[in-house]
Amino acid sequence: MTFLDLLDDMRRRQEEILNGGGAEKLAKRRAKGLMTARDRLDALFDAATFQEMGGHVRHSARHFGMEKKDLPADGVVVGTGYVGGRMVSAFAQDFTVLGGSLGKMHAKKIVTLMEEAAKFGSPVVAFKDSAGARIQEGVDALSGYGCVFYQNVLLSGVVPQIAVVCGPCAGGASYSPALMDFIIMTRNNAYMFITGPEVIKAVTGKTVTLDEVGGADMHASVSGNVHFLAEDDADAIRIVQKLLSYLPDNNSEDPPHRPSADIALAGDDAIHALIPDDPQSPMDVRAIIARIVDTNEFLEVHRSFAENIIVGFGRVEGIVVGLVANQPEVRAGALDMDAADKAARFIRFCNCFNIPLVTLVDVPGFLPGVEQERGGIIRHGAKLLFAYASCTTPKVTVILRKAYGGSYLAMCSREMGADFVFAWPTAEIAVMGADGAVTVLYNKELKAAENPKAKARELAAAYRAEFASPYLAASHGYITDVIDPAFTRSTIALSLRKALSKREMRPPKKHGNIPL
C-alpha cells in the first residue's frame, strides 16, 4: 500500500469509530432530544481540547456470534480534555453500540482512563448510559465491573469523581456512580435501580413504576442517591462545569480560590431585617447564605433531599468554601438521620479536597421520634460528629440562633475542632431549649403556681437571658466573639484568610472507623 492508501485506510477507520452505532441510531437519539456520547463530551470540554484514547479498542467476546460483530470503540468514548482551562478525564458510554453494554474491553478502557487520571491528578467525569453487563460476555463483564469499582475506590479522595446518569443504569452497575463523589441525573432519559419494576413484581407481587423505583426525582428527593437533578444533558453538563469550578484537580492541590485583593469590611445592615424577633419564628437560612457568599457563588448540593439542612459550595471574598447550614424553615432545622448523612458525606468530601468549611447553626436538637430512634439516629448522628471531628480543613462556625444539646456539638462547636466560633447576639446555647428546661428544673414550682403557663413563660425568659445567652458560653471561652450579624460575611472572610495556612497533624492510623 502507498502512503496515501494507508492514510485513506486510517481515515476510514476513524470515520467508523466516530459513527458509533451508525448514522441512523445517532439521528434517532438526537431526534428524541438526547445527546450522543460524543455530543456529551464535546459539550463538556473547551472547544478542540478533547483527545480520544483507545478508539481502536475492540471487544474480545467469542460467544453468541459476537466474533462477527464490530462494536466501534467497544461502546465507550474515552479521553481527556480541558474544562475551563483545566484538564479533566472523561468517558461516555455509547448507547447506540449494543446498548452501551459493558464488556471486558469496555471496562478496560475505563480503568485505564482512571489509572491515568490518578497519575495526572485530574478529575474524572463519567456519562453513564448503559444497558449494564454485556450478557454475551458473562463473567468477563462482571469482572469488568469489579475492576471499575476497584478503581472508583482507589481514586476516592485522590481526584474528584463525578457521575452523570443520563440513561439506563440498572442492577449492580449503579454501584459505580454510587462509589463516586457526586451523581447528577437527568430527568428526561435516566433511571437507576438495583431491581427494577419487573423483578419487584416477580419477587414481591407489587406493581411499581419505573419512576417510583428509579426516576431522577425520586433519587434526588427520597433515596438521596442523586446530588443534582438536571432537566436534560445540556443542563447536566452545565452542572458538571459549575461543580468543577469549585474543586481542586486532586487532593494535593488547593481549591481554585480567587481571593479578592481587599476584604470588604463594611457592615451589611440589610441582614438585620432577615432575623425574626421571636426565636420560635423560622428564619430562611438560604437568605442568610445569599448575604454571606459572593454574588452568584452558591451551588447547592442535594437540594431536594433532607431539606432541614443545606449544603453547598460557594466563595466568600473569592475563597472556596463548603457551607453547611441548618434550615429552620424545614422541621425547625432539627437534625434527623438523612440530614446527618447528607452533611457528613459533604463534610468528608470537603476534607478530602482541602475545602474550608463554614457552618451556620440554628438547630433545636435531634428530631425526636420512634422512627428516628429505631432507624438508628444515634448511628447516623454519630457520622456527623465523626465527620466534623476528623476534618482538618479550616472550619469556621457561626451560631445564628439555637444550638442545643448534642446538636450544638454536632454542628461543629469549638470542641469538635472549629478554628473559629462566632455567635450572633440572638444565639441560644444550652443543654436544651428554655421551655423544655424549665419543665425539668421547676417541675414542682410550676405545679404549685397559680398560673402555670404564665410562670413557665417567666421562668423560660429568665433561663434564656441568664443561661442560654452567647455571653455565658463566651465567658467560658467557647466562643471566639459575639458579632453583629451585619459583619458575618466580613468576619468569615477574615477568618478564612487566616485559616488557609492551617496545618493540623493527627496520630498516624490506617483509617478511622466512621459509624456506618
Rounded least distance, CB 149 to ligand HXC, Å: 7
Q: Which residues pair with 311 in a beta bridge?
A: 301, 324
Residue from the set 55, 138, 171, 282 that interacts with ligand HXC by CB under 6 A: 171
Stretch that binds ligand HXC, among 40-48, 130-138, 217-225, 457-465 (CB under 6 A): 130-138
Let me know the angle formed at the C-alpha of 389 by 223 and 309, rounded to the nearest 5 degrees: 35
Distance (Å, whole) CA 304 – CA 440: 37
What x-and-dash track marks residues 236-275 binding ligand HXC by CB under 6 A?
----------------------------------------
Rounded least distance, CB 76 to ligand HXC, Å: 13
Distance (Å, whole) CA 361 – CA 426: 11
Stretch that binds ligand HXC, among 126-134, 394-402, 441-449, 458-466 (CB under 6 A): 126-134
Residue from the set 132, 197, 214, 279 that interacts with ligand HXC by CB under 6 A: 132
> Using an 8 Å Cβ cutoff, are 228 and 241 in contact?
no
Q: Is 333 helix (H, G, I), strand (E, B) or coil?
A: helix
Rounded least distance, CB 95 to ligand HXC, Å: 7
Q: Which is nearer to ligand HXC, 131 or 319 (CB)?
A: 131
Distance (Å, whole) CA 161 – CA 167: 18
Rounded least distance, CB 103 to ligand HXC, Å: 8
Instruction: Sort 128 into a burial class: Cβ within 10 Å, 0-12 / 13-18 / 19+.
Output: buried
Stretch that binds ligand HXC, among 12-20, 98-106, 211-219, 268-276 (CB under 6 A): 98-106
Residues 6 or more apart whose CB falls under 8 angstroms from that of 77 comprise 20, 37, 38, 41, 52, 55, 91, 92, 94
Return the closest-CA partner of residue 305 out of 383, 226, 366, 380.
226
Instruction: Sort 244 into a burial class: Cβ within 10 Å, 0-12 / 13-18 / 19+.
Output: buried
Residue 101, interface with ligand HXC (CB under 6 A)? yes
Rounded least distance, CB 370 to ligand HXC, Å: 36
Q: Is 183 helix (H, G, I), strand (E, B) or coil?
A: strand
For the chain, count helices (H), then strands (E): 20, 17
Return the closest-CA partner of residue 313 out of 283, 287, 347, 270.
347
Distance (Å, whole) CA 144 – CA 133: 9
Residue from the set 26, 71, 133, 416 that interacts with ligand HXC by CB under 6 A: 133
Q: Which is nearer to ligand HXC, 35 or 492 (CB)?
A: 35
Residue from the set 45, 91, 127, 145 that interacts with ligand HXC by CB under 6 A: 145
Task: Report H helices in 333-451.
Answer: 337-352, 370-375, 377-390, 405-410, 434-441, 443-448
Residue 20, interface with ligand HXC (CB under 6 A)? no
Task: State the cell numbers at 240.
Answer: 458538571
Residue from the set 35, 98, 344, 418 that interacts with ligand HXC by CB under 6 A: 98
Residue 290, interface with ligand HXC (CB under 6 A)? no
Residue from the set 54, 72, 168, 328 that interacts with ligand HXC by CB under 6 A: 168
Residue from the set 61, 124, 170, 340 that interacts with ligand HXC by CB under 6 A: 170
Residue from the set 131, 183, 340, 382 that interacts with ligand HXC by CB under 6 A: 131
Stretch that binds ligand HXC, among 166-174, 221-229, 488-496, 500-508 (CB under 6 A): 166-174
Task: State the cell numbers at 498.
Answer: 487566616
Stretch that binds ligand HXC, among 4-12, 95-103, 219-227, 283-291 (CB under 6 A): 95-103
Residue from the set 84, 172, 369, 425 that interacts with ligand HXC by CB under 6 A: 172
Q: Cα 392 to the chain's mean position, in Å? A: 19
> Using an 8 Å Cβ cutoff, are 241 and 182 in contact?
no
Stretch that binds ligand HXC, among 96-104, 224-232, 354-362, 464-472 (CB under 6 A): 96-104
Rounded least distance, CB 219 to ligand HXC, Å: 17
Residues that bind ligand HXC (CB under 6 A): 98-99, 101, 131-136, 142, 145, 168, 170-173
